[in-house]
């Protein structure tokens, strides 16, 4: 059994490393995109208008397309493949593609027509009529991405079920590059606040390119790309996916609902607050995307296969390993962000229209966001485990409780604490969701490796404390030596992260945490020269 399991674990580790590296590059490209956007638009009113205009179709995408569709589709699709019913699996995918084109196309058209009535619901009293009009126009340009992302989610689900992760991980990198080209190239064609339309057009173009990148890989695995059909009435497989999609959509859409909620409540503070929160969220999502999204995405098809076999022991073990991998990488990331929030924001954003006040507002939000990093990562994995069991309603109900808690806390704290109070609601609700999901998943699986995981997490927290002290001390010294030029900031922040990361890695290896040794062994194999 061990001989059979070991190659699969190595393959999983390699897939995770490749996905993590590719996703990391895409997140870095996303930060570059945000740096350029910040230099053009700062945290001004038009930037906040774009933030809301983008988040609304992005929320619809999260609820009815892309990751939500992929997560509802993969367990059903994987089950058909597992039972050697490949033709039926591909028929299901083709039928869903046709359904998506019609349903999401209708939703997009309806929103474009009703945008002047819908958008003011999400904007606060500090938004002027001109900003409302700009937000309406931007949302109408952006809403077609819902259709494109729906088809993209289906394509990603098909590829992931076949253990193909590289192209889906690289595509967001290209997406960001296309957006930057569009933003820089088209901005001179617009005047004043309307320059931000260049950003919106770039997003639509990048989303189309991202979808087109999936097609050659789909054809390579034998999927009939251009054979789009429509589901037959009463098709049980399509109905199963759609039944799963509703709770899956709410569960996976929580982070996007939180983001829209943060921006909406933030607009009650000032017209700069939504953009500041969004900019902080982009930095927060860099380690989130590199590590927890990578782990959950790579493990999800395996979780679905284990669930299909009713292998609860395997599910417990795989979920435990995933939880410890996420903790190993996100706990130090959170510690580094907490002590270096202001230097990070200054390095990434402060230029052009993004001034010192913008840096302070964004750093305040980022520091609080950091405490949510491990919880958000664990939630992603635990939710995917429920989905693999085709038991999505339970995490959905828990996500609903979490959303209510987030809303109540954010509304209670935004007046006395400002941006910090808004983001604090997200942190507390994510922590609550982690606890609730772990309790209920433990019941579903007849146990969960909670004791072992908490023991290792304690060691990681000690190591992260050492990282935080060394990070801040190193930055303070290097900042005094090299100053605040771009090169000086790169040296001080980069040196602090490098020194802190080294002491963290040494300590977790010294503690004998298996997941740390797995990471080191993986990279040692990747760089060892072949004989």
Fill in the DSSP letter of residue 125.
T
Residue 241 buriedness (CB in 10 A; 0-12 / 13-18 / 19+): buried
Which of 464, 400, 481 shows the shortest CA–CA distance to 436?
400
Region 242-249: mean pLDDT is 66
CA pair distance 435, 440, nearest whole angstrom: 9
pLDDT tops 50 at residue 401:
yes
pLDDT tens digits along 461-476: 999 999 999 999 999 9
To the nearest whole number, what is the mean pLDDT of the chain?
81
Structure tokens at 212: 């087109």
If pLDDT is split at 50, 70 and 90, which confidence band does 201 have?
very high
Please work out, in degrees rounded to the nearest 5, the angle formed at the alpha carbon of residue 121 by the alpha carbons of 281 and 396.
60
Most confident of 87-96, 164-173, 265-274, 466-475: 466-475
Region 393-418: mean pLDDT is 86
Please work out, in degrees rounded to the nearest 5, the angle formed at the alpha carbon of residue 378 by the alpha carbons of 71 and 165.
45
CA pair distance 88, 81, nearest whole angstrom: 9
CA distance from start to end of the chain:
29
Which of 163, 153, 152, 154 shows the shortest CA–CA distance to 15?
163
CA pair distance 178, 400, nearest whole angstrom: 36
If pLDDT is split at 50, 70 and 90, which confidence band does 85 have?
confident
pLDDT tops 70 at residue 71:
no
Most confident of 60-69, 251-260, 323-332, 345-354: 323-332
- pTM, entire model: 0.68
Cβ contact 346:484 at 8 Å:
yes
What integer pLDDT is reported at residue 38 of this predicted model? 78
Task: Tell me how far CA of residue 258 lies from CA of 58, 149, 281, 343, 370, in angstroms.
Answer: 12, 20, 11, 26, 15
CA pair distance 372, 395, nearest whole angstrom: 18
CA pair distance 123, 59, nearest whole angstrom: 15
Long-range contacts of 281-286 (CB under 8 A, 24+ apart): 281/365, 281/369, 282/30, 282/31, 282/34, 283/31, 283/337, 283/344, 283/345, 283/348, 283/366, 284/337, 284/366, 284/369, 284/370, 284/372, 284/373, 285/27, 285/30, 286/24, 286/27, 286/28, 286/30, 286/31
Helix, strand, coil share of the chain (percent; to 5): 85, 0, 15
Cβ contact 257:31 at 8 Å:
no
pLDDT tops 80 at residue 229:
no
């Amino acid at each position: 059994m061990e001989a059979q399991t070991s190659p699969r674990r190595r393959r999983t580790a390699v897939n995770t490393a490749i996905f993590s590296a590719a996703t990391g590059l895409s997140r870095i490209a996303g930060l570059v995109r945000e740096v350029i956007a910040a230099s053009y638009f700062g945290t001004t009113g038009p930037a906040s208008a774009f933030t809301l205009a983008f988040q609304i179709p992005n929320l619809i995408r999260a609820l009815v397309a892309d990751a939500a569709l992929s997560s509802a589709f993969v367990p059903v699709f994987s089950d058909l493949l597992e039972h050697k019913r490949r033709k039926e699996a591909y028929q299901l995918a083709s039928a869903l593609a046709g359904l998506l084109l019609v349903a999401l196309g209708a939703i997009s058209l309806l929103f474009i027509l009703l945008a002047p009535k819908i958008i003011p619901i999400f904007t606060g009293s500090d938004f002027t009529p001109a900003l409302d009009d700009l937000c309406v126009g931007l949302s109408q340009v952006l809403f077609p991405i819902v259709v494109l992302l729906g088809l993209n989610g289906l394509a990603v689900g098909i590829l992931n079920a076949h253990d193909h992760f590289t192209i889906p991980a690289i595509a967001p990198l290209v997406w960001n590059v296309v957006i930057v080209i569009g933003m820089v190239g088209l901005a001179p064609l617009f005047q004043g606040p309307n320059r931000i339309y260049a950003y919106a057009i770039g997003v639509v173009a990048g989303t189309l390119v991202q979808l087109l990148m999936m097609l050659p890989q789909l054809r390579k695995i034998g999927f009939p790309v251009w054979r789009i059909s429509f589901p037959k009435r009463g098709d049980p497989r399509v109905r199963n996916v759609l039944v799963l999609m509703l709770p899956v959509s709410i569960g996976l859409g929580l982070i996007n609902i939180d983001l829209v909620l943060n921006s909406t409540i933030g607009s009650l503070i000032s017209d700069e607050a939504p953009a500041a929160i969004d900019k902080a969220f982009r930095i927060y999502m860099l380690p989130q995307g590199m590590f927890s999204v990578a782990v959950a995405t790579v493990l999800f098809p395996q979780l679905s296969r284990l669930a299909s076999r009713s292998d609860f022991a395997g599910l417990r073990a795989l979920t435990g390993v995933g939880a410890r991998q996420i903790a190993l990488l996100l706990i130090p990331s959170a510690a580094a962000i907490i002590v270096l929030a202001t230097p990070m924001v200054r390095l990434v954003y402060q230029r052009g229209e993004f001034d010192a006040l913008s840096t302070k507002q964004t750093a305040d939000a980022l520091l609080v966001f950091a405490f949510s990093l491990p919880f958000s990562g664990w939630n992603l994995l635990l939710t995917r485990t429920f989905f693999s069991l085709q038991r999505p309603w339970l995490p959905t109900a828990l996500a609903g409780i979490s959303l209510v808690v987030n809303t109540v806390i954010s509304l209670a704290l935004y007046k006395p604490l400002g941006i910090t109070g808004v983001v604090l609601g997200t942190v507390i609700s994510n922590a609550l969701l982690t606890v609730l999901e772990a309790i209920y998943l433990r019941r579903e699986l007849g146990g969960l490796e909670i004791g072992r995981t908490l023991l290792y997490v304690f060691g990681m927290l000690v190591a992260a404390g050492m990282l935080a002290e060394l990070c801040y001390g190193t930055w303070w010294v290097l900042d005094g030596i090299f100053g605040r030029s771009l090169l000086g900031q790169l040296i001080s922040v980069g040196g602090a992260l490098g020194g802190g990361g080294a002491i963290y890695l040494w300590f977790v290896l010294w503690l004998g945490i298996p997941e740390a040794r797995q990471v080191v062994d993986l990279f040692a194999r990747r760089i060892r020269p072949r004989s």
